[in-house]
Structure 1
Amino acid sequence: MSIDLHEANRLSWNAATVAHNSHKGDQAAFFRAGGSTLYPEEIELLGDIAGLDVLHLQCNSGQDSLSLARRGANVTGVDISDEAIAFATRLSAESGIAAVFERSDLFGWFDDARKAGRRFDRVFASYGTICWLSNLGVWARGIADVLKPGGRFAFVEFHPFAMVFDQGWKPHYDYAPKDPVAEAGVGDYVADSGAGLAHGGYQEGVVGFANPHPSFEFNWGIADVVQALIDAGLRMEVLKEYPYANGWVAFEGMRDLGGGRMAPPAAMPSLPLMYAIVAAKVGSTAEYREKAGRPSS
C-alpha cells in the first residue's frame, strides 16, 4: 500500500478544499432552507435510511453527509483531509443538522473501527473516491467488516471508461493503468463545473487556483471494484451504468440534460460516464472468508 502517497494527497486536498468551498456561497443557509446535495441516483441506491446508522466514506466537506442526515440517518463521515473535516464539523453546527465527522486515512480508520467493533447499516461512497485509494482489497474488506449482517454498501462513481479521454474527447490514456498517476495537484473542479457542483448558487471565490502540493491517483476498472467486493464476501445486488455524469463538467461541449446530468455533445454517441453498485453483507464476513480460503484481514 502507498500510504506515503495517501499522505501527499492529504496535503493536496487540504489546499484544494479551501478553493472548492469558496465557490459555494453560504452553505449553512442552503441547508437551513431545506437544501440537499444528493442526486436521485444516490437516494435510489440507498433506499429508506431513516433511523439507520450510515457511514459515509471519503465524505469531503460533509455536504452529502448532512443531506443523508436530513433524511433521518445517524451519519458518520470520514475523510483524510483536515480542512474538509473541519469545514464539515462547522457546517453541521451552523446548519443545525447533526452528524459526526472523523479525520483519518481510511485504511487506518478501518483498523480502528474493527478493534472497536463499530458496525453500520449502510456504507456509502460517491464520485471521485476510489481513485485516491492504493489498495481496493483493503477498502472492500474494511467495508465488509464494518457492515452489520444484512447491511448494504451503496456506491456511485465516475466511469473508468470516460478516463481514457482527454478534455477534447480524444482517446489518450490507458484504461485503468496499474501504476499510480502523478498529477500537479487536486484541481479546482468546482470552478470548472460551475453551478453543477455549487448547489446553493455559484460564486467566483478563489480565482486561478494552483495547488502547491502534487497528488497521486490510482485507477481502477469496474472489474477491479466488483471483484474486490466479491472477494470481501459481499453479494452484488445492483450494477448500473449511466450515460451522463452528475454535476461534473469534465470534457468540452458537455450538455446539461436537466438536473445537473452532464452528457457528451449531441453529435457524439452515448457513452457511460457513471456507474453504481449496491452490495450486501450476508451473514458473517469471517465465516465467508474461512469457507473461501481467504485471509480474514
Structure 2
Amino acid sequence: MTDDYRVLNKANWDERAPAHAASPDYDLHRYLTEPDFIGEVVRFDQPLLGDVRGLRVVHLQCHIGTDTLSLARLGANVTGLDFSSASLVQARQLAERTGAAIEFVEADVYDAESVLGAGQFDLVFTGIGALCWLPSIRRWAETVAGLLRPGGRLFLREGHPMLWATDEKHTDRLVLGYPYFELPEPMVFADEGTYVETDAEFTATTTHEWNHGLGEIVTAVLDAGLTLTGLTEHTSVPWNALPGQMFREPSGEWRLSEHPERLPLSYTLQAGKF
C-alpha cells in the first residue's frame, strides 16, 4: 500500500486544525480560563480510566491537544503524538498558554515506537475518532504493545464499528451503508465540512478511511501480546453522529432519541501488558 492516504489525510487535518481550535465545540476558552477544566471526553472516561497521577502517558493521535491537556490536569506526565503539524501548533500553543508541561511529537502513529522508544509508557491513551484513519488495526496494536512497559496498559474509547458502518445521510432510520470489517482498500470520502461548528471553508476535502470490526480489534490486541481487561459498549458518543436521530445530554454525550438499545455508539477497551 502506498502512503497516499497519509498525504491526503494529513492535508485534511492540517487545514481543519485552526478551525477546530477556533470552534466553540472544542471549548478552548474554558481550558484557558478554568485551570481545573477537564474536557467532556476525558470526564466520561474517568470512571473506567481511574487514577493516572504520576503515570507516564502517551496520547496517540492527539490532534489539538485538548484531551492531552485534560490527562495532564489529572496528574499524568503526558506526551502527545500526531502526524498533523498544524494540529500540533495548536496543541503546543494551548499547553504554553495554560502552563502545562506536555511534550508534543510530530510523527505517524505507526512510527510511534521508533520515535518515542520501546517500553517507555505506563499508559497508552487513544480517544474517539482515531482508528478509522488507520489501514491496519494489527499494526496499530503492535505499536501500542511496543510502547508499553511491562505492567502498562492500553485505554481506548472509540466510536463503535457498528456506528461507523451506519450511513448518517439517512435521518429517519438506521441504515447500514459502509463496511463493518477492515478491507484492504479505503473508503474514500469528499466532505467539504467538518464535525464542529465553523464558518471556515476547506479545500483539502478528500480522505481515506477504514472501519475495523470489534472482533478484529480485540484479536489484534490479543495477538500483540496484551491481555484484555475490559470491554464496555456504550449507547452514547460525544458528537451528533446521526443527525436527526439523536439528542444531546447535559454531559455533552449524544444518544439515539428512539430506542437507544438498538445500536452501540462507542466502546471502551482496556488491555494490559502482563
TM-score by length of 2: 0.89
Q: CA RMSD in A?
A: 2.0
Q: Does 1:99 align with 2:102?
A: yes
* Structure 2 unaligned blocks of 5 or more: none
Q: Does 1:252 align with 2:244?
A: yes
CA distance in 1, matches of 2:179, 2:140: 23
CA distance in 1, matches of 2:96, 2:129: 26
CA distance in 2, matches of 1:213, 1:172: 20
1:266: Cα distance to partner?
2.4
The alignment partner of 2:123 has SS state of strand
CA distance in 2, matches of 1:122, 1:234: 13
CA distance in 2, matches of 1:160, 1:146: 25
User: CA distance change for structure 1 residues 219 and 61 in 2, over 3 Å: closer, same or farther?
Assistant: same
User: CA distance change for structure 1 residues 110 and 172 in 2, over 3 Å: closer, same or farther?
Assistant: same
1:265: Cα distance to partner?
1.9
User: CA distance change for structure 1 residues 66 and 224 in 2, over 3 Å: closer, same or farther?
Assistant: same
User: CA distance change for structure 1 residues 276 and 134 in 2, over 3 Å: closer, same or farther?
Assistant: same
- Equivalent residues in 2 for 1:44-55, closer than 5 Å: 44-55=47-58
More displaced stretch, 81-90 vs 265-274: 265-274
- Equivalent residues in 2 for 1:148-187, closer than 5 Å: 148-167=149-168, 168=171, 169-178=174-183, 179-185=185-191, 187=193
Q: Which has the higher contact order (CA 8 A, sep 6+)?
A: 1
| Partner in structure 2 of residue 240 of structure 1 | 232
Q: Does 1:68 align with 2:71?
A: yes
* Structure 1 unaligned blocks of 5 or more: 192-205, 283-297
What amino acid maps onto 1:136 in structure 2? I
User: CA distance change for structure 1 residues 246 and 29 in 2, over 3 Å: closer, same or farther?
Assistant: closer
| Partner in structure 2 of residue 87 of structure 1 | 90
User: CA distance change for structure 1 residues 52 and 177 in 2, over 3 Å: closer, same or farther?
Assistant: closer
Q: Percent identity?
A: 32
User: CA distance change for structure 1 residues 63 and 180 in 2, over 3 Å: closer, same or farther?
Assistant: same
TM-score by length of 1: 0.83
User: CA distance change for structure 1 residues 160 and 186 in 2, over 3 Å: closer, same or farther?
Assistant: farther
CA distance in 2, matches of 1:20, 1:26: 10
Which of the two has higher C-alpha Rg? 1
- Equivalent residues in 2 for 1:1-297, closer than 5 Å: 1-24=1-24, 27=28, 30-33=31-34, 34-37=36-39, 38-114=41-117, 117=118, 119-167=120-168, 168=171, 169-178=174-183, 179-185=185-191, 187-191=193-197, 206-207=198-199, 209-266=201-258, 269-282=261-274
The alignment partner of 1:223 has SS state of helix
More displaced stretch, 253-262 vs 129-138: 253-262
1:54: Cα distance to partner?
0.4
CA distance in 1, matches of 2:17, 2:63: 8
In the alignment, is the contact (CA less than 8 A) between 1:151 and 1:281 conserved in 2? yes
In the alignment, is the contact (CA less than 8 A) between 1:69 and 1:99 conserved in 2? yes
What amino acid maps onto 1:35 in structure 2? F
The alignment partner of 2:262 has SS state of coil
More displaced stretch, 269-278 vs 224-233: 269-278
CA distance in 1, matches of 2:234, 2:262: 10
